[in-house]
Structure 1
Amino acid sequence: MSRSDDPGHYFQTSDSLATIERRAAKASNKHGDPIKLPSKILAVLADKKAHKVYVAEAAGNVKVVDLETGNARVRGEPRSAPLTCLALSSESSTIYCGCWDKSIYNSSLTGTSQAGKQRPKLVGHADFVKCLLTTNVEGTSVLISGGADATIIVWDVETGKPLHKLKGPAKAIQDLVVDPMGMPDDLNESSGGVVMFSASSDREIRRWYIGKAKAYELPESIEHPILAHETSVYKLCFDSDGDLWTASADKTSKHLVRSRDWEADTTLQHPDFVRDVVVSEEAGLVVTACRDEEVRVWDASSVDLVCTYSGHYEEVTGLALVDASTVVSVSIDGTVRKWSLQRKDMTRYLEEVEREEAGTVVDEELVEKKDGLLTADEEAELAELMDEDD
């Protein structure tokens, strides 16, 4: 154990102190043009038309961040609990956010006030809301939510009432995505319905039919769920071929091929949990976010590691493609950073990093250890939520 007169060092191991010191030194870096917010950021969603992103904060705010000016404005009323996930409905110009308090809140993006018009919350989950998805089912706009209670709820956004409540696997629902390839030929259902994939903490990827009158898990999914990972699957992302990219707590991101019955033909190894994955088709790149604080860019064809963007000094919690050549990352460190996916810019960044002297000056404003936004119990609960593998 290290010895120190600093009260903040009491009961901490040498490894813990080294981590604190490393993060403090790293915090002053300006890589990715950081936009600093006052709270941990747990989710991000891009508004590609306006070159801005929406973020969900542990402090209970949804904010819209202008990537050009760095300005951040609150949308909707602040909540008393951390916000965990976001979804955007372009049809109704509404932003939805899932919360620790088991509710889903929504605000109009076209309200006359700066904060946007507040609407009634949606209540139905028995535990944290962990993921949200908006889509259209047979002409009806729906919101689909997944929770730590292992439940999927399909909501009619016009009435605010549940259309369906589905019991998922035994563990928390981590992510939901609509199959872009539409309905399978052998599925005898309305063409207006959708097929949805779910990821969960029990490592299983499952498939569901979602219609207006009924919703259920596909028979082949019940018999043979997709088992590509050893533990929790955090994120799912389809590419233009209808194949699936995944992010998992088993420290890998995988490419699952539809024509091979979802067999993995590519595995991207990481040193820690992979929190998110996005694909830039035009750039031919795959981007992953890792708990080790790094954003990695991979060549989608050769699967070579093209660039590792190092800027965050806490766990990276989410990624969002703003356009074909720009990806945004958010982190527990409270920063929003943007990274170029152009090859020349990545080469320039790597050369710049090589030129930098070892060590950085600590920026006290960025590395306050106690920001007062969460209690010790809430910090522990947040860590448990983020690391849930069971």
Structure 2
Amino acid sequence: MQTTDTDLLFQTDKDIKDAVRRERKLKVTQTIGRPISLSSKVLRVLVDGDTAWTAESGWQARAIDLKTGTTRRLFRGHTGPVTCVALCQGQAGPVLLTGSWDKTIRVWDAATGVCLQTLQGHSDFIKSLTILPGPALLSTSSDRTIRLWDLRPLKDGAEPKCVQILRQHTRPVECAAWRSGTPDYPECIVWTGDSLGVMKQWVYDEKAVSLRLDKELKSHETSVSQLRSCAAGVWSASMDNTAMLHRLDDKPIIRITESTYIRSLLPMEHVDGAEHLLLTGSDDENIRVYDVEDTERGQPRLLATVPGHAFQVSDLSVWSDGEKWEVLSTSFDQTIRRWTLSDLLHPKSIPEAEEPEEEDKNGGMTAEEARELEELMSDTD
């Protein structure tokens, strides 16, 4: 196959066919999940109040008004895809922190979009940012390290300081999660996961702003794509097509197995009316809804498979306006979609997408002309 379209260079026929399929799917799903269309792939989303903060492949972060679906502000300055976002308080109000493939963490005035500081130290892609009590920032990277930054200087307008570098992982550290202490487990616990499937559990000391390795958890066969804490412990999603609940009380692991990579997940235990649900977002472009209180042989019962996106589901979050709530899903299809509980439990089917006209598939010929040419080419008389 030859092409003069530079966008198609170095793509296989399958890649091009998939791109065409996704374009058709986007057209027939314009009303499913009330999509907000963006200009680049959404890698992560953080919801705060009525604002969704997105990390995007287009070298930018974005603040979106969830009531109107419009962009409030763009945060531009990175020289690579923005992989993660986090929020904390600064001297004059909220600050946005962004991590990027350009190996830096940027600190922005969330209200004005002005870049206040650029934090350097990592020697490879930034993979995740997590705000810990203190406040402190935990950053993970493809350079196989975890860095802990003291954010308290931000209150005085000064630059955060890196106070600890941890090198216990032997592969790129993809993600992190934490949970505060409880009467049963008084210590603040942090979990990290890497591209080899290894998960480590840490104890966080807020006063000292430091982490101490507690133990390594039995985990996945390959990359851990996301971690989400819950009352029982931590859920992990992986490229080995599984999600797992690792319990603090050392009871048996609960495991979910799907047919494709699981990119994202969301325990719903703090959402009224959905406390027993867990959502996953996968490479097959679907969201799945599980009942974690109804398990058979350790596998939560699948309640629904929710179609709508036209590319892998990269992240999941919850938005509440005080009266009702919606789940937000993001995707490499450059949309954010919004789902009510009814949408999730009773998903709409996707209308069948129209195939391209036959003359397009045959190099501009009509179907009849293509058949005549085929007959001529195969004529051996």
Does 2:216 correspond to 1:215? no
Does 2:176 correspond to 1:176? yes
Matched residue, 1:311: 308
TM-score normalised over the length of structure 2:
0.79
Matched residue, 1:74: 73
Q: CA deviation at 1:5?
A: 7.7
Aligned residues of 2:304 and 2:346 also touching (Cα < 8 A): no
Give the stretch that moved more between structures: 142-151 or 68-77.
Answer: 68-77
Q: CA deviation at 1:38?
A: 1.0
Task: Tell me the secondary structure at the aligned position of residue 21 of structure 2.
Answer: helix
Matched residue, 2:110: 109
Does 2:248 correspond to 1:258? yes
Q: CA deviation at 1:127?
A: 0.5
Structure 2 unaligned blocks of 5 or more: 154-158, 295-299, 357-381
Aligned residues of 1:183 and 1:194 also touching (Cα < 8 A): no
Matched residue, 1:297: 289
Q: CA deviation at 1:16?
A: 3.6
Task: Tell me the secondary structure at the aligned position of residue 300 of structure 1.
Answer: strand
Does 2:46 correspond to 1:45? yes
1:163-217 Cα offsets, whole Å, 9 max, x none, are 11111310111111123335987xxxxx8x8431111112111122333546344
Identical pairs, percent: 27
Matched residue, 2:343: 345
1:238-287 Cα offsets, whole Å, 9 max, x none, are 22x332211011101112222126x31x2222221111111111302111
Task: Tell me the secondary structure at the aligned position of residue 263 of structure 2.
Answer: strand
TM-score normalised over the length of structure 1:
0.77
1:35-92 Cα offsets, whole Å, 9 max, x none, are 1111111111111x22x31101111211111222110133434322110011111575
Matched residue, 1:277: 265
Does 2:101 correspond to 1:100? yes
Aligned residues of 1:75 and 1:107 also touching (Cα < 8 A): no
Q: 1:230 to 1:183 in 2, by over 3 A?
A: farther
Does 2:56 correspond to 1:57? yes
Q: CA deviation at 1:4?
A: 8.1
Matched residue, 1:196: 190
Aligned amino acid, residue 345 of structure 1 = D
Does 2:122 correspond to 1:125? yes
Aligned amino acid, residue 191 of structure 2 = F
Matched residue, 2:373: none
* More strand as a share of residues: 2
Task: Tell me the secondary structure at the aligned position of residue 347 of structure 2.
Answer: helix
Between Structure 1 and Structure 2, how many residues are aligned? 332
Matched residue, 1:206: 200
Aligned amino acid, residue 297 of structure 1 = V
Q: 1:12 to 1:86 in 2, by over 3 A?
A: closer
Task: Tell me the secondary structure at the aligned position of residue 120 of structure 1.
Answer: strand
Matched residue, 2:365: none
Task: Tell me the secondary structure at the aligned position of residue 310 of structure 2.
Answer: coil
Matched residue, 1:89: 88
Moved over 4 A (4+): 3-14, 182-185
